[in-house]
Structure 1
Amino acid sequence: MDRAFIIGDIHGNYDELLQLLTHWDPETETLIFLGDYIDRGPDSLQVVRHVMQLVEEGAIALKGNHEEMMMEWTRGEHEARYLRNGGEETLQSFMTASRGANDLSFAEFRSVLLTEFSEEVTFLNERPLYYEWNQFLFVHAGVDLLKENWRDGTDDDFLWIREPFHTGSNQTGKQIVFGHTPVKILNRDKSFNPWFSECGTKIGIDGGLVFGGQLNGLKVAADGRTDWVKVEAKS
């Protein structure tokens, strides 16, 4: 396909995801997700299962830092950090779908999650960190622009990087599309619309949906042309 449709941070908002997908043409556009399917929103499990189905049908789904935080929680690492960053809502969505788990604490639910929802956990854990398509590079947070080869970056770079990537000089030869940082922070007009760097080689699309913004979908063509659509957060 010579076009792609890229979706930013969903964060458990299933209804908005379904609405945005009505703008996707599966016959002509490769579907690419930039990660952060879970946390903060009410329907993380539904989102994960829908993305899993789309991946089976050929979509690309990358890992975000929130998926990584959930994996750390399953290993008993940084538990409090995960829960205060939206993990409670995610675990509750899994517990609601579980058999008799509503009376369990989150810690007690961990073993249930790893057995009853092993397919979903494995799916989230095995997501790739980036995807290259023509001259485009798709990644959750960004890359270390100081490295001679950006592919030598750490997992933390791909999942967590912010300001050094946003302001750094892009000599990768790639047009980089990323999520992670709500674009309201990057846009001079403080809007939730996609951010285009002055150099024209970086595009941020995290519309801050869980902060009252919007879910952005970016359309790109193999020749570099771009367009975008949005679904605003439900009031």
Structure 2
Amino acid sequence: MAKLLKYVDYNPKKDQLVLLGDYVNNGPDSTGTLKMVKKLHSEGAIVLLGNHDVRWMKSKEKRKRKWRSVLQEFDSIAKIDDYLFVHAGVNPSKSLSKQKMSEVTGFESDVALSRKIKGRWVVHGHVPTRRYGAKKNKIYIKGHTIDIDTGAGHGERLSLVDLTHQQVCSIEVERLKKVHEYSFG
């Protein structure tokens, strides 16, 4: 994540960063990732919870329990302009205020995800885009949703999406050498 933020010259004073969750369990250093996420949050990033983070909050393990108060500071849904950000998705038949944490962090319905929610695009992760038939390491756009999960939790790529300029930068989590960049839209 640090390499991607450096590559795009991220500046918390002028850029709005939204992180979509799952900071723990799948990488080599969950604690280190949480430290970085906590710092980014303190600098103004919007940090959303994923299903793995929710499991950590509920854990009785000491090393996980000590992060509970930090994780509880994070939201599950963020609305910015024409976008709705969420880890997994939303149920379009319910108002946003009635969405359950388990739904927005673990949603699995492709049909529901393709619908526009109150005039907004839904930007989410949770399910790697290749499972929807997207080209390997590419984001997936369907209807009014943008899935940006390019498989980092499965040893593939971590992606950063610049919605303003419709650019995607990604990096292979195993190698961390070269940042790949492409446009969408």
* TM-score normalised by length of structure 2: 0.84
- 1:29, distance to aligned residue in structure 2 (A): 1.6
- Alignment partner of 1:54 is 2:1: no
Larger radius of gyration: 1
**Amino acid corresponding to residue 138 of structure 1 in structure 2:** F
Residues 21 and 53 in structure 2, CA contact (< 8 A), matched pair in contact too: yes
Give 2:121's aligned residue: 175
Shift of the 167–55 alpha-carbon distance from structure 1 to 2, 3 Å rule, reads closer
1:18 deviates by 1.5
Distance in 1, Cα, partners of 2:113 & 2:80: 23
Distance 1:59 1:112, change over 3 A: closer
Contact preservation (8 Å) 1:136, 1:175: yes
Normalized per residue, the structure richer in helix is: 1
Q: Distance in 2 between matches of 1:57 and 1:51?
A: 10
1:63 offset after TM fit, Å? Answer: 0.7
Q: 1:195 aligns with which of 116, 121, 140?
A: 140
Query: How many matched pairs?
Result: 173
Pairing partner for 1:122 from 45, 69, 74: 69
Alignment partner of 1:150 is 2:136: no
CA distance in 1, matches of 2:93, 2:59: 31
Distance 1:171 1:193 in 2: 23
Using the TM superposition, name which of 34-43 and 19-28 deviates more: 19-28
Q: Among 159, 171, 181, which residue is 1:216 paired with?
A: 159
Amino acid in structure 1 at the alignment position of 2:89: G
Distance (Å, rounded) in 1 between the aligned partners of 2:111 and 2:101: 14
Contact 2:91 2:112 (8 Å CA) reproduced: no
Counterparts in 2 of 1:142 and 1:133: CA distance versus 1, 3 Å: same
CA distance in 2, matches of 1:32, 1:167: 19
Any idea what SS the aligned residue of 1:172 has?
Answer: coil
Segment of structure 1 superposing worse, 152-161 or 163-172: 163-172
* 1:144 shift after superposition: 0.1
What is the distance in 1 between the residues matched to 2:14 and 2:88?
26
Greater relative CO, 1 or 2 (CA 8 Å, sep 6+): 1
Q: Which residue of 2 aligns with 1:184?
A: 130
Residue 49 to residue 188, structure 1, CA distance change in 2 (3 Å): closer
Over residues 11-59 of structure 1, what are the superposed CA-to-partner deviations in whole Å (9 max), with x where a residue is unaligned?
xxxxxx1111112421432111001101021111011011111111111
Percent sequence identity over aligned pairs = 25
Structure 1: which 5+ residue stretches go unaligned? 1-16, 75-109
The residue aligned with 1:25 is 10
Question: Partner of 1:131: helix, strand, or coil?
Answer: strand
Matched to 1:220, the amino acid is L
Secondary structure of residue in 1 paired with 2:32: helix
Once residues 71 and 184 of structure 1 are traced to their aligned partners in structure 2, the CA distance between those partners, rounded to angstroms, is 29
- Choose from 159, 167, 179 the match for 1:227: 167
2-structure distance, mates of 1:216, 1:24: 15
Any conservation in 2 of the 1:145–1:165 contact (CA below 8 Å)? no
2:23 aligns with: 37
Root-mean-square deviation (CA, aligned residues, Å) is: 1.9
Mapped to 1, the partners of 2:5 and 2:89 lie a distance apart of 24
SS state of the match for residue 17, structure 2?
strand
Q: TM-score, normalised by structure 1?
A: 0.67
Aligned residue number for residue 4 of structure 1: none
